[in-house]
Structure formats: structure tokens, C-alpha cells
Structure 1
Amino acid sequence: MKAVRILLHALRQVLGNLKQAIALSAVPLAVGLCMGAGLIAVARYWAKPPGIGGGGLVTALLSYVLLMAWLAVRWHRFILLDEHKHLLAPPSRTPFWRYIGALLRSIVIIVPAILAMLAALFVVSEVGSGILTIVVMVVMNLLFFGLLLILGAALAGAAVGAPSPIRTAWEKMKPAGGTLLVLSLTAFIGNEVVEAIMEATASSRWPDLAKVIAMVCYFWLSVLFSLSVLTTLWGHYVEGRPLR
């Protein structure tokens, strides 16, 4: 099954380049941890009343997006273009802002899709049974994850300078609908598993520092594997690269 081969290929990308992955992730991860610690300290000791206000949340969200874009661009270019130079350095401006532009265009597509899903679920819940609502919800979630996979692969294309990456990814990946649905189901289940592991770690009796380290490692590995799946989708379906 091609979906399994894609997942195994992505896993080999991570495991076969683990040292490089650590180097590429080091700066954005360190910056993110420092900013998170700073926001928590401000919210706990200096904010009156204590807490993170709207400005803090916006700052945290924008910082998260920019740092994830940093890692994504470097990883996509490392795998697809064999870009080894200065692994600790930030991405070049042109591919970075090209990636951000494609991300913004993707959001323009995603928001109406979410609104349509919510409207459809509301209608079904009003006129149908509970079982029908659950079935429709599962199907729509799988289709939504499939859309995210296509747009995510397009972001990999934007990172390496491909023209019209969203349109290209859509056209090249349309024949792979069945594979995308299987990958969507895997992503849906994987997301639930990661959340369950994070919650179990947070509620464990481990020392707080051990909890933080473990949760950061879980998150990092899940992000890197997800990026590798998107890299593989672009490389295989658009660039015609074989799966190992």
C-alpha cells in the first residue's frame, strides 16, 4: 500500500538524518522555549492581574508560526535540495517569505472549508440521528485532513521555489485520492495518540523538568515526522522521486 510506503519513507528521512534534524531544530526550538518561559514568567510574576493577555497570546501565536516556518523551510530544502550549509542559520529570506505567502493563501482556502464543515455538521445534527452525525463528522474530518496534506505538500514546494505550488500540488495529487484518505486516517489517529501521550506525561508523577523534556521531545518528533510526510508527498507526486 502506497500510504504505508510514504510513511516509512518519511520515517527513514527522520531517522537517517537525525543529527542534521537536531541541528536544524536547535535554534527555533531554543528560541521557542525561551519565549515560552518568558511569557510564563511575565504572566505569573509581573502581569496584573496574573495571566497572559490578548497581546501575549498574539505574540505567542505569531512567534510559533514563524519558528515553525523557519524549521519547515530549512527541513524541506535540506531534503529536497540537499541544502547542508550552515544548519544552525535561519532560512534565506526569499524561500522563507515565499513559504509564508503560500501559508497565507492556504489559510484563505482552509477557513471557508472549516465554515462549510461546521455548517454541514449543524444541518446534519438538526435533521439526522446521532449516528449519522458521527459518520458525517468522521468523513468530513478525513476529507479535511486530505486537504491539509495537499496544502502542506504545496508549502514544501513553496520552500524550494516551485511556481504556483498550491495549484501544482492539487493537480499532481488528485489521482492519489485513496492514498490521501488513508494518510488522513493515519494523521487523525496519530494526532489523537500524541495528545494522549502528552496528557499522560503531564499527569504522571515524573519531576516537572522530566515532563517538560519528554513533552518537547514528543512534540518535536511529531512535527519533524509530519514535515517529512509533506516533503515526501511533494517529492514523490510532483517531482517524481521514487519511494525507498
Structure 2
Amino acid sequence: MKAWAIFVHSIRQVFGNLPEALQISGLIYLAQMAIAIALGVTTTAMEATTEPTGAEATKVTIAMMAMLIALMWIAVAWHRFVLLNERPAGYLPQFSLQRLGRYAGRSILIALLSLLIGMVLWLAFGTLFVGLFGLTWLTELLIVICVIVPVLTFLYRLSTILPGVAVDRDLGFADGWVATTGETPTILILAFLSGVAAIVLGSPLALLPEGSILSLLWQVISGWVQMMISASILTTLYGHYIEKRALL
């Protein structure tokens, strides 16, 4: 099954190059996490806040901006390492504002389109399943699955171009979609596997004391793993479908 091969290949890409993955992402990731913690913007803190004040909203905005810059910086550097074997000269990868700007522009547009599709699907499936089964935990689970998997599929197909943007290739916005034509079932299964992996990685948080050091530590570790595997999945999709590389 190609979806499983892509998923496993992406995991191996990270853990088979763990020293390089840590060198490329370690300091940047820890710095943005430190900003979030210093501002009190953690997963548990955000869940506990029902109506944020102006100051709290400002803190969340700063933390989100730091996170987005960090994620883009790491993703671009990781794509370039895997595809071009470009390694950081020191403890931080190269920071190219122009390259990150192009990558961010494409990423934000894809994210907005995915969000729009997600909202439409949420409304449609929510109305259908609540009407059929009422509001239960099973209904909520069905709605989440029926929304997340198609949205991730759409997201992956369009985002296949992003590693090409990172390595300075002149690609059209829809080139990833065209390159993955006929591969929707594969991408759909890949999206499902990614969703299951995210649930598995997040599930230990429910067992750990809220706000504890262990809970915070797991947020840091699981967040890093999800980030790197997601970047690797995009790299693998680009390499396989656009550069026609074999899945080893």
C-alpha cells in the first residue's frame, strides 16, 4: 500500500537522520516553546481560558506568530536538507526572509482554502449526524473523522508543491494537485494515518496531571515529532510525485 510506504518513509526520514533533524530544528523549536511558556500560552492554559482578555489575546498572538515563523523556518531547512543535502553551518539553519516569505504565502493560502472546506464539511456532516444520532460522543467522533480526513487530503495534495518552493523551484499553485491526480485514495489513506498518529501522540496528555512538568514535557516532545513527520510527509510527496523519486 503506497500510503503506508509514504508514511513509513517519512518517519524513517526523521528518525534515520535524527542528529540532523535535531540540529536543524532543536534550538528554533525550543525557543518558540520557551516564548509560549513564558507568555503562559500552553495547550492546557488555552483550554482553561474561556474568554481571553485583551492582554491574553495579545500573548496568544505573539506566541502564534513565533510558532509560525519557527515552523516555516524549520520546514524550509528540513526540505532543503532532504532534497539538496544542505546542512546548517552552525547551530541554526540558514534564514532567508525571501524564501520564507514565498513559503509562508503559499502555506497561508492553502491553509485558508482548507479551513473554508473544513467549515463547509463541518456544517454539512454536523447537521446530518446530529439529525440522525443526536449529540453524543460517537456523533462528535464521526463528524471529526468526516471533516479532518478530507481536509487533510486536500491539504496534502495542494501542499505537495511547498518543498519545491523551499528549494527555489518555479512551481504553479496547482502543480501539486495536478501531480497527484489519480492518487486521491492514496492521499486519503495517508491523511487517515496522519490523523491516527496525531491522536495517538496526543492521547497521553489525558492521562498526565494537568499543568504538570510531565504534561508540558510530553507536549514539547509530541509536538516536535508531529511537526517533523508532517514536514517529512510533504517532502516525500514532493520527491515522489513531482521529482519522481522512488520510495526506498
Deviation at 1:107, TM superposition (A): 2.7
Query: In 2 relative to 1, CA 136–60 (structure 1 residues): closer, same or farther, beyond 3 Å?
Result: closer
Query: In 2 relative to 1, CA 136–195 (structure 1 residues): closer, same or farther, beyond 3 Å?
Result: closer
User: Residue 17 of structure 2 corresponds to which residue in structure 1?
Assistant: 17
User: Residue 95 of structure 1 corresponds to which residue in structure 2?
Assistant: 99
TM-score, with normalisation over the residues of structure 2? 0.83
User: Residue 188 of structure 2 corresponds to which residue in structure 1?
Assistant: 181
User: Residue 104 of structure 1 corresponds to which residue in structure 2?
Assistant: 108
Aligned with residue 74 of structure 2, among 56, 71, 90: 71
Q: Secondary structure at the match of 2:169?
A: coil
Query: In 2 relative to 1, CA 156–96 (structure 1 residues): closer, same or farther, beyond 3 Å?
Result: same
Runs of 5+ unmatched residues, structure 2? 46-51
TM-score, with normalisation over the residues of structure 1? 0.84
Aligned with residue 61 of structure 1, among 27, 39, 64: 64
User: Given residue 118 of structure 2, which amino acid in structure 1 is its aligned partner?
Assistant: I
Deviation at 1:160, TM superposition (A): 1.7
Query: In 2 relative to 1, CA 40–16 (structure 1 residues): closer, same or farther, beyond 3 Å?
Result: same
Q: Which has the higher helix share?
A: 1
Deviation at 1:199, TM superposition (A): 2.8
CA distance in 2, matches of 1:156, 1:202: 38
Structure exhibiting the larger radius of gyration computed from Cα positions:
1
Query: In 2 relative to 1, CA 135–25 (structure 1 residues): closer, same or farther, beyond 3 Å?
Result: closer
Q: How much identity, in percent, do the aligned residues show? A: 26
Deviation at 1:134, TM superposition (A): 6.7
User: Residue 86 of structure 1 corresponds to which residue in structure 2?
Assistant: 89
Residue pairs, 1:1-16, within 5 angstroms: 1-16=1-16
User: Given residue 206 of structure 2, which amino acid in structure 1 is its aligned partner?
Assistant: E
Query: In 2 relative to 1, CA 96–137 (structure 1 residues): closer, same or farther, beyond 3 Å?
Result: closer
Aligned with residue 161 of structure 1, among 168, 180, 185: 168
Contact in 2 for aligned 1:157/1:165 (Cα 8 Å):
no
User: Residue 48 of structure 2 corresponds to which residue in structure 1?
Assistant: none
Contact in 2 for aligned 1:76/1:231 (Cα 8 Å):
yes
Contact in 1 for aligned 2:33/2:220 (Cα 8 Å):
no
- RMSD (Å) for aligned C-alpha atoms: 2.9
